[in-house]
Structure 1
Amino acid sequence: MCCSLITLAQSNFKVSGIVIGVDKEPIIGATIQDKSNQTGVITDVEGRFTINASSRNAVLRVGYIGMKSEEIKVEGRSQITIILQEEAVKIDEVVVTALGIKREAKALGYAVSSVNNDALTAGNEQNVMSAISGKVAGVDISSTTAGPSGSTRVIIRGNSQLTGSNQPLYVIDGMPVDNTELEGAGKWGGYDYGDVLSSLNPDDIENISILKGPSASALYGSRASNGVVLITTKSAQKKKGIGVEFSSNLSIVKLLTGFDDYQRVYGQGRDGRPSMSGQSASTTSQVAWGGKLDPNMDVHIYNDEIRKYGNVNNNILSFFDTGITTTNAVAFSKTNDLSAFRVSVSDMRNWDIVPESELSRTSVSFKGNTQLSKRLTVEAQATYSYESVQNRPALSDSPSNLGNALIGIAPSFDQKWLSSNYKDETGRYNDWNGDKYRINPYWVINEMSNKSKRDRLIGQGRLYYAFTDYLKASFKAGLDSYTFRFTDFTPMYTPGFTDGMMKEMTNNVMQYNFEMMLRFQKRFGDFDVSAFVGGNVMRYEYESMIQTGQTQVIPGLQDITNYSSIETEHALVRKAVRSLFGQVSLGYKEFAYLDATFRNDVSSTLSPKNRSYFYPSVSGSLIFSNLFEHKEWFTFGKLRASWAKVGGDTSPYQLQLEYGLKPYTNKGTSLGYITSGSVPNANLKPTSTYSFEVGMDVRFLDNRLGLDFTYYQQITKDQILSLPVSQSTGYSRAMINAGEISNKGIEASLSLVPVKTKNFTWDANINFAKNYNEVVKLHEDVKDFELAAARWANAFIYASEGQPYGVIVGKKLNRTEAGEVIYENGLPTFDDKVSVLGNGNYDFTLGFRNAFSYKNLSMSVLVDMKFGADVYSMSKMQSHVNGTSKETLEGREGWYASEQARLSANVDAKDWAPTGGYVGKGVKAVTDADGNVSYVPNDVYVDPAKYWQALQNSSPEPFICDNSFVKLREVSLSYSCPKKWFVHTPIESVTLSAYGRNLLLIYSKVDNIDPESSYNNGNGQGFEYGSLPSRRTFGFGINVKF
């Protein structure tokens, strides 16, 4: 027989047939069941079946996941062809939950969101999490402007941790993996070194499930306190012979945003005059406070070369290249009755918009299983990836940050001139701006360099043993290992590093997981009962070695031994967690479901009396639509609720003093020191997170209309913090348990099928999420906790009591009760105390996706929207200080005319009453004879350059912008070639596609930068400085299956 028996029964009439979809393709694994006696079979690899029906008039129920179930009357037929229609919304959808267990979505008492491979790869986004931005409610995804080699920040239902990471746990095929981001860019600069997600091949991923709340993720323990992202890779599909799949994509990368909205009226120079000598020109290439542009005027530049004083079109944007990305992947699969395997190889190459910046990534994966006996099955899988990056862009205040060098270039200065004048005939650096913190961009890309290599292996093996049909055991051993090597070379003569410098960093990470589980599943009458209990042991080790060489011996030789001074830093971190966990699930008549879970972790990072901590969860769902008779307008209704508690530990070595060796010696002897400035605390206890959520899922009109709604509230207590203490203790900080953060919010997903005909379907989905966040309390002695600090204006990002997490703080402008800015001598005044000026986190997010299909042609459009966040744009501040911003035009002509009149009259500035200039909008104080103060409109003229320069380091308020945006995030178009084209060939299918990512910034209130620009993915979001242009991608691809 070509099918498998589900239930044995007496046979009265044999029926054979085939089950196919609307595309005429066979459906493998569809169930056919006789309604009268429950006899059932499943279809084979050709979609065929044979069943012994109870009679010639039997009724067969035919079903398959994702398809509408059909009831077929036999009516004496021995051969039947059955066509199943795809469901618009899948009621019996199976999702992956904690520990990799697949369950029906309707049975879950908490929210789980899934994204399949089609949605993941539609735009050919190479970072798997960036690819789902805007597609899942309650998941905020962002990245830096570092490009394809950068990392991704994923926040589920708001920030809840004051220290450490707020990002979720990542689990690949049931194996937790390390996604710890290396220390990224800060206020003084740095790099984005990427993360584990940047090395995954999206083509190998079958599905991503996101467990949002503690109830969904509680079984993963303390590592999952911020949610879980479950990544399921592809397995071999049942089919004849060896399956082969090949895909290839070519993408063109252009600039989405750029430095193109600057003033083009005044050029290089100061005080309204152009630079008329090479000496003055060498210090004003980034100063645009000169005279009015005149294409007929001759001016000097750096080497006394004569140039015209006109506007240079694209004088900044022309620095960047057109990027290219190629991806090629091939996969082989094979199945038989006992075994299955899939092997894939992929290669990705990227030449970025930043000149001389390249990325290559190669990955090989294997996934297979075999049934060794009737009761014993073995699974194994492994993924190896190798990534090489040449010249990651520097970020933030790095002197080599190209963005910082370019944003200040005067409109009359042609940056292309720098390409042949960045060094002299002896190879020494040519100063072009008098600023060692803004290095010539061509010196950066041609003389400075950095490179990195990342090797990663993720592998695991599993054993499954079935004692009976309802009692099974499993054992799993997994490994996640990677090595990251980074070299940063700064040649001799570089400003600030005239003797040269080199840094080599090597990081090794090893994480082991061992897990055993015993699972029971059986039906008792109307009750479905399942339960499991298990244990897990996790061991983690991180080792870092950093060598820094100073004073190069042989110019140009890039070797760490070529430096007269070499300092070495070494760090070793180890951690272990032992766990017990379990779950009991009850189902009644596919109507009511109840789950209860527990987990107990024992962490090596806490003291013996506190290191063991227990946390439970309970959840339930009610399919209330089963209470009513079937109505065509009401398809499905479900209520769900859950409660959970999750614990959390801390990083290693917080309980006692830790000692280390200084990277330098004294007379040949290494010096020891205490590595931390924090007082250790041997009594630290676990962090606790309490969560409650309720939700509803309703669908109407045969799944043409659906709404999924969730309300949640979550509070995290006993945060493990390092808080300031008196310096008299010998320490600057102390580790304590303190702090409480609350998150509560709503999530909603609306699905619509406005049009559905035989050949045309229009699907629409809108997802919405709003999170209310508050730092409820910190400590009786500390009311503000610093998350990040800015380079300028003494701006900070705080977690402050009574405020949302991550507020932007600094000195604010003094204002009257009516809100008018108070001026003194024409310049704004500032409050001496620090105030809240904004919030770097979004109030709410919206995603709107439309999908259209007509016969073999499919199209999807995704619009991504985020509202309510603020950003302190230091790029905007610098453009005002340098005079390149359009806002700096106001008052110039009047001031320069006034100055010309003063000079003509030979009057000293202190004795002159300006007749024009910039007048700040606000009021000034006046005092009458009795000493009473009142306010009148400000009418004092000031030099616009002096006005904006006075704000540079005084207050961030004028440069805090609304960071809301609306983006056309993704458009994809695909065409499935008719199968009749490939009859009598080994080709099974061919799909052609075209796509675009980040195509259009529809709405934004931030000038010249992408609102998603950030120089790191840490907890302190809301600062931007020297951002590179964001990238827009167009491409096309082909997928062929054999």
Structure 2
Amino acid sequence: MYDKSREPVIGATVQEKNKPTSGTMTNIEGGFTINVSSPNAILVISYVGMDLLEIPLEGRSTIEAIMSENNIHLEEVVVTALGIKKQAKALGYAVAEVKGDDITGGRDGNAITALSGRMAGVDISTGSGGPSGSTRVLIRGNSQLSGSNLPLYVVDGVPMDNTQLGSADNNGGYDMGDGLSSINPGDIESISVLKGASASALYGSRASNGVVLITTKSGKGHSGLGIDFSTNVNAVMISKNFDDYQRVYGQGTNGQPPVLESSARTSTQSAWGAKLDPNSSYYIFNGQQRPYGNINDNIMSFFRTGVTFTNSLAISSSTDKNDFRISVSDMRNNDIVPSSDMYRTTFMLKGGANIGSKLKVEGRANYTREGVNNRPALSDSPNNIGNSIIGIAPNFDQKWLADGYKDAQGRYNSWNANIYRLNPYWVINEMSNKSNKDRLMGHVQGSYDILPFLTAQVKVGTDYNKFHFTNYAAKYTDGILPGRFEETLTEIHETNYEGMLRFNKRFNDILDVSAFVGGNIMKYEYESYYMKGEDQIMMDVKDIMNYSLSYPPQHTLLRKQVNSVYGAVNLGYKDFAYLDFTFRNDISSSLNKDNRSYTYPSVSGSLLFSELVDLKPYGLSFGKVRASWAKVGGDTDPYKLNLLYNLLPYTIGGKPAGQIASETVPNVNLLPTSTYSYEFGFDVRFFQDRIALDFNYYNQSTKDQIMNLPISSSSGYSNAMINAGEITNKGIEVSLNVVPVRSKDFEWTSNINFAKNTNKVKELHPEVNIYELAQARWAGASIVAIAGQSYGSIVGKKLARNEAGAVIFDSEGLPTFEDNVSILGSGTYDFTLGFNNTFRYKSFSLGVLLDMKFGADIYSMSALQSYRNGTSTYTLEGRDQWNASEQARMAANKTSKEWLDMGNVKGYVGKGVVLQPDGTWAENTVAVNPQTYWARIADNSPEPFIYDASYIKLRELTFSYDLPSKLLAKTPLKAVSITAYGRNLWIIHSKLDNIDPESNYNNGNGQGLEYGSLPTRRTFGLGVNVKF
């Protein structure tokens, strides 16, 4: 099969007429083989964007045909709300869709992460949690002050729970991952993103942040038995080194190296010593003497090259009556951190059957088993390896920490006199955490054709997740001397029961009417147990029973139910005008009886003006305008309306003691939040779709925010739950698809997607002008929402300045600071840009994906520590002068005060002014110890450590080769593809030294905080796919 340019049509569906399930597909050369029932059979050949062909064989065994281009948009079908497939031309709102082959090209283990840079208005990011961490997906900006801003995920029409079971905050923690990793990317047929309220309104209160629809592969369209096997291996390497650290001064303080073992211990993470001299030696923490010279790669040598192996097998088949697909995938990963590894095994079975001419049944079952050893600790966790090693002096080799991290009795040997910065070799050898996840998802669905235009459908879907986590610190761990063992068991179970009646009829080839009504019952249950033991009895036994001090288990049980009814009417007039109406009513158990019922309507329409006016002579092959309006919203978590109580681990007078379980005053009159949204856009395509431009404008407002209002602690509470506040998001989304070159052997396709979102917190509460979203660990910074500003402002104390903007210094030559906090930046991006190119030459294909984000800021506490520790190159200024001045002072036998009074102090002179007695300003000329200067800054202000988090990344690079079919003609193989690939290969542009600008330590609402991040990972891999 060829197109009009004699290019092979790859992937066209070939079927025998009246036998639609016994078909095949054309290969990379446009060829195909099919068994037919008769020499005179008729073949039906279809391909998206091409006219349908019917070819009588007339006894021929070989045929050749040319397929003519049609308007791709007239045939394109996308998955919309409730799993309903619609023609793209009929939609009055924006839907973005990516096919499964595009997702698996870069062999990313997480299907959602693979979408980075591919969709306008969909911001995807990962934190610093590594391969077992979670993914943050933000659609059209932040709209919620409390709770989640993440979208709803739906797999084959069944909602999936994506709860993140643990994350880091300013004091530390672990990223426990999320539910997205439970889906094997190789099982995905397509991913559709419903970005606007009109697109997602049918999902009600759960869809206020958008919906991600995942459709899995089935066995339909496969003639006979098909086998698909793929194997991939990739190396995981460090993408950004700490190569901007200074290599001039070594360990010590105040210009002096450590002279005793004790002083070496207190200064291991201080590079304020003398100039490096490899001919001299000094004591280190364990009493050994080492050369006092620079050691290249003294930090990064701790990490190893990780490796990931992934193997997948799928078997599929279909007949006239049924189809099935069964798959298994196994992933094994060793991370860059020694002792950190994970595995993930997934199984999927999906099938369907036609029982008679009217009844159809189908079902799917997914099971995932995941195990993770030693997730990286994040933020200010004492066992955060990043915090420990990135602060060491340039003359100190991290390898030395492996020698003597514990004494002969197994006790911790302190290396830095800091219980919050543990020896990384103690961490990987004497501390551990382990998690196991079992997840079962699936559904059963039946549909019955009551009449040719009327169908009844029922579906039951379930999602069960069991997560077991243990966290172990051996006896004698610094700061936890008795040892500690923590154990958490969490089970989440959600079941959806759904019924629907669907109508679809065309009247006189003029009016298309499709409609449906349905109902849903969602039942949700969350249950967890937390246990902790201290004072370990037997060394190395990791069991809660091995601790003499154990605490009573903490039990949490949450239940919620939402009953819903919904419906829609879709009208189409002469295939060029479309109008849709939808409604949904939710009744939520988490609100009181007067407020628990609420309705969400939407209306949308589209007009194909290219069907009204012939614009083809002007190059326009398709033109469409669309518009929509909708209202959606959200409820709250269970048990927020009344006081909760729990039991304490002791009794009073022989009776159990209890307490109020929350510091928040409940509000029995809570209302659901409401989001009002409208959007309009257009889709125009030129020169037979060689150029396609899609534009969308949206404006949405989220009101009646459910938030915690701070109140006086004298009340016995710290805050009260209320409805207040409004957040708006408005912006544009642009997607441009171009085929610059198309010839017989070569084709270049290009996609540019752009999105700009303007966010504003219009109001909070009359008594609240600032609402805290997250706290930083150091210098008093936090992420907040401020009335009148954009969501996610980074605030903290600025350096004090005069009217001319000069920094104000005190009489001792040290900077001063403002009394109140100010806005220092924003943790949310202004706009995003993706640039995706594919070059195909015969059997070769090259893919290049650039991912770009601009306008956000990040507070890097790793940078702050590098200034405090003296490892930053910016701390070199003034050191030579200070050290020479100190040597002269000591030679003159003068005290520091005497030397200062004599005016002989040299060192760092801060750029700014000093207030004079007469009220004028004079330039600061007082020299100070650079160590003192930067300690003063780091203790009081985050301002110097706020960085532009904009970046340009080479997100993905793939190069593949498909073996010619003639080489496989005499083998059982149908296709063989070999792919070399890379992910996160190059940070082309970034203004943040040493740290990846995406290194937020969690994926919550308070974006813009980085602390102690591990190096970013890049992958290089090779994959082979074989089809039988």
Does TM, scored on the shorter chain, surpass 0.5?
yes
Which aligned pairs between 1:258-337 and structure 2 lie closer than 5 A?
258-337=241-320
Does the 8 Å contact 1:312/1:414 carry over to 2? Answer: yes
17-26 or 883-892, larger mean C-alpha shift: 17-26
Counterpart contact for 1:65–1:93, Cα < 8 Å: no
Consecutive unaligned residues of structure 1, counting only runs of 5 or more, are: 1-15, 33-39, 53-59
| Aligned-partner SS, 1:217 | helix
Give 1:628 shift: 1.8
Q: Equivalent residue for 2:572?
A: 587
Decide which of 49, 52, 67 is 2:49's aligned counterpart.
67
Residues 1:814 and 2:804 aligned together = no
CA separation in 2, counterparts of 1:455 and 1:75?
52
Given the alignment of the two structures, is residue 407 of structure 1 paired with residue 390 of structure 2, yes or no? yes
CA contact (8 A) 1:18 1:81 kept: no
Give runs of aligned pairs for residues 591-990 of structure 1, distance below 5 A.
Answer: 591-629=576-614, 631=616, 633-663=619-649, 670-824=656-810, 825-911=812-898, 912=900, 913-928=903-918, 933-990=919-976
Q: Deviations over 1:268-320 (max 9, x none)?
A: 11111111222211111111000111111121222332211111110100000
Match runs of 1:476-495 below 5 Å: 476-495=459-478
Q: Mapping of 1:106-185 within 5 angstroms?
A: 106-185=89-168
SS of 2:880's partner is helix
Residue type of the alignment partner of 1:748: V
Matched residue SS, 1:921: coil
Q: Which residue of 1 aligns with 2:23?
A: 45
What is the correspondence of 1:465-614 to structure 2 with a 5 Å cutoff? 465-525=448-508, 526-567=510-551, 568-614=553-599
Q: Distance in 2 between matches of 1:1001 and 1:117?
A: 26
* SS of residue matched to 1:579: strand
- Offset of residue 66 of structure 1: 1.8
Deviations 1:696-742 (A, max 9, x none): 11111111111111100000000111111223332221111101000
Q: Which residues in structure 2 correspond to 1:211-226 (within 5 Å)?
A: 211-226=194-209
What is the CA–CA distance in structure 1 between the aligned matches of 2:68 and 2:279, rounded to whole Å? 72
Q: Which residue of 2 aligns with 1:12?
A: none
1:579 partner amino acid = S
Assess, with a 3 A threshold, how the Cα gap between structure 1 residues 223 and 65 changes in structure 2: closer, same or farther: farther
The 2-side partners of 1:783 and 1:26 are apart by 58
In 2, Cα distance between equivalents of 1:1038 and 1:783: 57
Residue 920 of structure 1, CA deviation? 1.4
Q: Specify the SS of the correspondent of 1:474.
A: strand
Provide the identity percentage: 57
Conservation of the 8 A alpha-carbon contact between 1:65 and 1:94:
no
1:73 positional shift: 11
Give CA deviations for 1:127-156 in whole Å, capped at 9, x if unaligned. 111110111111111111111100001100
C-alpha separation in 2, matches of 1:590 and 1:237: 28
Query: How far apart, in 1, do the equivalents of 2:4 and 2:322 lie?
Result: 24
Deviation of the 1:1034 alpha carbon: 0.2
- Describe the shift of the 1:76–1:986 C-alpha distance in structure 2 as closer, same or farther (beyond 3 A): closer
TM-score by length of 1: 0.94
Residue 923 of structure 2 aligns to which amino acid in structure 1? P
- Which residue identity does 2:419 align to in structure 1? K
**Per-residue deviation at 1:30?**
6.9
Q: Is 1:1001 the counterpart of 2:987 in the alignment?
A: yes
Q: Distance in 2 between matches of 1:88 and 1:420?
A: 69
Judged with a 3 Å threshold, the aligned counterparts in structure 2 of structure 1 residues 301 and 86 are, in CA distance, closer, same or farther, namely farther
Between the aligned partners of 1:17 and 1:319, the Cα distance in structure 2 is 56
Residue identity in the other structure for 2:533: G
1:37 corresponding residue in structure 2: none
* 1:915/1:65 CA distance change after superposition, 3 Å: same
Query: Partner letter of residue 344 of structure 2?
Result: R
Letter in 1 for 2:524: Y
Residues 248 and 1039, structure 1, Cα contact 8 Å, conserved in 2: yes
Write the distance in 1 (CA, Å) between the matches of 2:57 and 2:444.
49
Q: CA deviation at 1:25?
A: 6.6
- Deviation, 1:671, is 2.2
Are the counterparts in 2 of residues 41 and 51 from structure 1 also a CA contact under 8 Å?
no
1:340 & 1:195 partners in 2: Cα distance?
Answer: 31
The answer to whether the Cα contact below 8 Å between 2:14 and 2:44 also exists between their aligned partners in 1 is no
CA contact (8 A) 1:399 1:438 kept: yes
Deviates further, 300-309 or 952-961: 300-309
Counterparts in 2 of 1:1028 and 1:1002: CA distance versus 1, 3 Å: same
**Pair 88,877 (structure 1): closer, same or farther in 2 beyond 3 Å:** farther
Sort the Cα spacing of 1:129 and 1:560 in 2 relative to 1 into closer, same or farther, 3 A. Answer: same
RMSD: 2.4
The residue identity in structure 1 corresponding to 2:160 is V
**Cα distance, 1:818 vs structure 2:** 2.4
Letter in 2 for 1:333: S
Contact 1:991 / 1:1040 at 8 angstroms: preserved in 2? yes
- For residue 67 of structure 1, report the CA deviation from its aligned partner: 3.1
Post-superposition shift, 1:29?
5.9
Query: Is the contact between residue 41 and residue 49 of structure 1 (CA under 8 Å) also seen in structure 2?
Result: no
Match of 1:347 in 2: 330
Note if contact 2:21-2:221 (Cα within 8 Å) is conserved in structure 1. Answer: no
State whether residues 17 and 49 of structure 1, in contact with CA within 8 Å, keep that contact through their aligned partners in structure 2. no
| Distance of aligned partners of 1:166 and 1:820 in 2 relative to their CA distance in 1, 3 Å threshold | same
Shift in CA distance, 916/222, structure 1 to aligned 2, threshold 3 Å: same
Shift of 1:819: 1.8
Give secondary structure in 1 for the equivalent of 2:114. helix
Maintained 8 Å contact 1:17/1:80? no
d(CA) in 2 for partners of 1:953, 1:962 = 22
Match of 1:202 in 2: 185
Query: Aligned AA for 1:886?
Result: T
Give yes or no for contact 1:693–1:711 (8 Å, CA) kept in 2. Answer: yes
Q: Distance in 2 between matches of 1:1004 and 1:884?
A: 20
Partner Cα separation in structure 2 for residue 647 and residue 215 of structure 1: 12
Where 1:197 maps in the other structure, the secondary structure is helix
Contact 1:61 1:69 in 2 (8 A): no
TM-superposed deviation, 1:27: 3.7
Question: What is the rounded CA distance, in whole Å, between the counterparts of 2:999 and 2:844 in structure 1?
Answer: 35
Q: 1:577 to 1:703 in 2, by over 3 A?
A: same
- CA, structure 1 residues 127+46, in 2 after alignment: closer, same or farther (shift >3 Å)? closer
Rate the CA distance shift 1:18–1:1001 in 2: closer, same or farther, 3 A.
closer
Equivalent residue letter for 2:445: R
- Report deviation, 1:883: 0.4
Q: Distance in 2 between matches of 1:111 and 1:745?
A: 13
SS across alignment from 1:949: helix
